[in-house]
Amino acid sequence: MSGAHPPRFPGAAPGRPTIDSWQEAPDNRWAFAHLGELVPTATVARRRPPGEATVRLGGPDGLEGLVPELEERLVATFTDAFLVLRGTELVAEYFRPGFAPDAPHLLMSVSKSLCGIVVGALVDDGLIHPAETVTRYVPELTGSVFDGPTVRHVLDMLIAIDYDEDYVNPAAEVQTHDRSAGWRSRRAGDPADTSTFLTTLRGSGETGTFQYCSANTDVLAWIVERVTGQRYAEVLSERLWAKLGADRDASITVDTAGFGFANGGVSCTARDLARVGRLMLDGGVAPGGRVVSEEWVRGTLAGGDPAAMSDAGFATAYPNGSYTRQWWCTGNARGNVSGIGIHGQHLWLDPGTDSVIVKLSSWPEPDTAEWHERQGRLLFEVSEALDRLP
């Protein structure tokens, strides 16, 4: 796929169709099948969502009896969906009032972990080489902070970038990133789309120390598009979602050039997200066949270099913690690994009990030490309770 702005459909000019051209030929051929990417849409549900909470926590003989005040703590941490899958057994499930078990939920940065799996699949096939430089695949990034670092540096977020990930600061790069992707109202001078924004990023480019930066994941998605010749959403479907045995389609937000917001834009049901966790604990195999190699999964679950971890909050909670392949690795005795997103999204793996815990939330603040501490403690207590569950 050539150029910074992939066309919306084969043969179209970049950036088309527009809000003014989509009803006209030839743009209508693509637009009539993808209108949700151009015009806001509302779901016409196939069934009514429940009016009351769905609570199946096992009672006094299950998790509810082993984790003190479990339901109350789920409510207090603004939980929208929670489930525990041990092996293939659904041990516990909770959905807040008005949120249906088959309703999709935004994953925020758990989306990054899905991208890590897709990149791993393409590494397995020899289409991406982690030791190669980013600009080998995306020469448009020449002159940016990504000019020099390797794909591996991007995967593990080991690049010094002038990028402020303060979600509540309007002047932060993360908000400019959002605006470029269509997540916030545009301002004068904002880059036209996500890929253009990525080319503007600067910094020392030094490698070896962890810096959490959402731009890394969108660089990975750009590489995915370049080596496959497909849109990121199509590759995410082909390489991952279509093999999961998912109950429902997932979705991903896209910018004006049709580029998927890989770092945080995926929505899916809690039950289908649990299938992603199951894939990891099953060594990369899903009901539809192998998704990613066992070697890639082992490398993820083993964690990265704790010496590189510079996130003070994570390092305090998990002294042996690390980040690798777009996953957070606690380095604790249980070997817990998680995809984590702001406002309380978790895809938590507990290898010792062969369990997956999904918690999708809507915290009132995006990213505070207090919320992370409360949620992390709850997830760990649930993991410990699984050791004692019959």
pLDDT at residue number 11:
55
What pLDDT score does 368 carry? 94
Active site residues: 109
Q: Are strands 266-268 and 251-252 parallel, antiparallel or unpaired?
A: antiparallel
- CA-to-CA dists, residue 52 to 46, 214, 368, angstroms: 18, 36, 29
DSSP string, 182-209: TSS---TT--SSHHHHHHT--S---BSS
Mind listing the pLDDT tens digit of every residue in the chain (390 residues)?
A: 334 445 445 555 667 888 888 898 888 888 888 888 888 777 777 776 678 899 999 999 999 999 999 999 999 999 999 999 999 999 999 999 999 999 999 999 999 999 999 999 999 999 999 999 999 999 999 999 999 999 999 999 999 999 999 999 999 999 999 999 999 999 999 999 999 999 999 999 999 999 999 999 999 999 999 999 999 999 999 999 999 999 999 999 999 888 999 999 999 999 999 999 999 999 999 999 999 999 999 999 999 999 999 999 999 999 999 999 999 999 999 999 999 999 999 999 999 999 999 999 999 999 999 999 999 999 999 999 999 999
Where do the H-state alpha helices sit in the chain? 27-31, 63-66, 70-76, 110-124, 134-137, 151-155, 173-180, 194-199, 215-228, 232-239, 270-281, 294-302, 312-317, 369-388
Residue 43 has a pLDDT of 74
pLDDT at 26: 86
Q: Is 9 helix (H, G, I), strand (E, B) or coil?
A: coil
Contact 109, 214 (CB under 8 A): yes
In this structure, are residues 115 and 215 in contact, taking their beta carbons and an 8 Å threshold?
no
> Residue 144: CB partners within 8 Å, gap ≥ 6?
198, 199, 200, 201, 202
Quote the CA–CA distance of 389 and 156 in Å, as a whole number. 35
Identity of the residue numbered 329: C
Structure tokens at 207: 């490698």
The pLDDT value given to residue 14: 65
